[in-house]
Each structure stands twice: as structure tokens, then as C-alpha cells.
Amino acid sequence: MSDQKKKNLTPVQQEYQKFASEHEIKRPWLKNCIRAFFIGGLICLFGQFVQTFFYTFFDFTERTAGNPTVAFLIFLSVLLTGFGVYDRIAQIAGAGTAVPVTGFANSVASAAIEHRTEGYVLGVGGNMFKLAGSVIVFGTVAAFVIAIIKTIVIQWGGL
């Protein structure tokens, strides 16, 4: 709470704030950070194994194996979200599961599952992108702006 708001509190409210802060559960932030780091790293390591599998056993190069790897990780995270496994992993890992692309797929799939009782169009379709919609819009706008800048630089460079 800011100092200005603390000054406006009555003595009873200030006493309550002090009481509440003394009894607040201290979060193990260092342990949570380490857990998120390692589990997020394990997800990325698994993705690297999948990518290596694609260019070792299929006709992909190291460069082109990225697209099927991302598709596989998205499919796997949606599948695990549907079975409720991804949420249990996320309770342990915290932000470690939210940062990779699997976290994005989980947010879309869990919103779709949550609103499925409202119907496919208004429930699933209307609510699926509430959380992930801003990410999609930002990515689309950023790609558009970068493409315009690249086109202008290439055109001016070619003059």
C-alpha cells in the first residue's frame, strides 16, 4: 500500500494492516523461481529432443524442423490440458509452464474447455481467445510493422 493511502487510514485500519502483514503467509519466492526455471528448462529441453528427432529421422533440416516441433508441443500441451495433467504440472512449476509455447496453448485450450457448456460458437469460439487474444493481436501487428519496415529498407536499398 502506498504511503499516501496509509496516511488516510484510521488508527483501527492501520492496526488491522499491521496485524494482517504479520500473519501473512510468506511465500518461498526463491524456491518458486528455481522450480519454474528448471521445469521450464525441462520443457524446452524436451522440445529440443523432439526437434532433433525430426531432423534425424525425417527429411527435415535443423532449420525446418522447428515448425513441426512447435506443432507437436502445442498438440501435446493441449492434450495434457484436456486430461488435466498440464494444470497439475503448472501448480508445481508456476511460471515455468507459462513461458514456453506450451503455456500459450494451455491458456487457449483451458478457456475452450471451461466454456464448452455454453456452446461451440458463443462458448468455445467466443471465449477461447480472451486471454490469448492480446498475444495474437500483438504478434500480428508486430509482424506487419516489421514486414513494412523490411519492405521499405529493401526498396530503398535497391534504389
Locate all alpha helices (DSSP H) within the chain, ordered by sequence: 3-7, 11-23, 29-57, 66-82, 85-93, 101-114, 126-127, 133-158
Average confidence (pLDDT) over 140-147 = 94
Average confidence (pLDDT) over 104-112 = 82
| Cβ proximity of 40 and 97 under 8 Å | yes
Average confidence (pLDDT) over 49-54 = 95
Task: Report pLDDT for 6.
Answer: 59
Question: With 90 as the cut, is the pLDDT of residue 110 above it?
Answer: no
Q: What is the pLDDT of residues 126-138, one digit of tens each?
A: 777 777 777 788 8
**How far apart, in whole angstroms, are the C-alpha atoms of residue 118 and residue 99?**
29
Sequence-distant (≥ 6) Cβ neighbours of residue 94 within 8 angstroms: 32, 35, 36
Average confidence (pLDDT) over 11-22 = 87
Express as a percent the part of the chain with pLDDT over 70: 94
Q: What is the pLDDT of residues 28-39, one digit of tens each?
A: 889 989 999 999
| Cβ proximity of 109 and 101 under 8 Å | no
Q: Indicate the length of the chain as a whole number.
A: 159
Question: With 90 as the cut, is the pLDDT of residue 75 above it?
Answer: yes
**How far apart, in whole angstroms, are the C-alpha atoms of residue 123 and residue 133?**
15
Work out the pLDDT band at 5, boundaries 50, 70, 90.
low
Question: With 80 as the cut, is the pLDDT of residue 2 above it?
Answer: no
Average confidence (pLDDT) over 41-65 = 92
Kindly report which listed range (3-7, 32-36, 140-144, 148-152) carries the lowest average pLDDT score: 3-7
pTM score > 0.75 for this model?
no
Q: What is the pLDDT of residues 115-125, one digit of tens each?
A: 777 777 777 77
Question: With 60 as the cut, is the pLDDT of residue 1 above it?
Answer: no
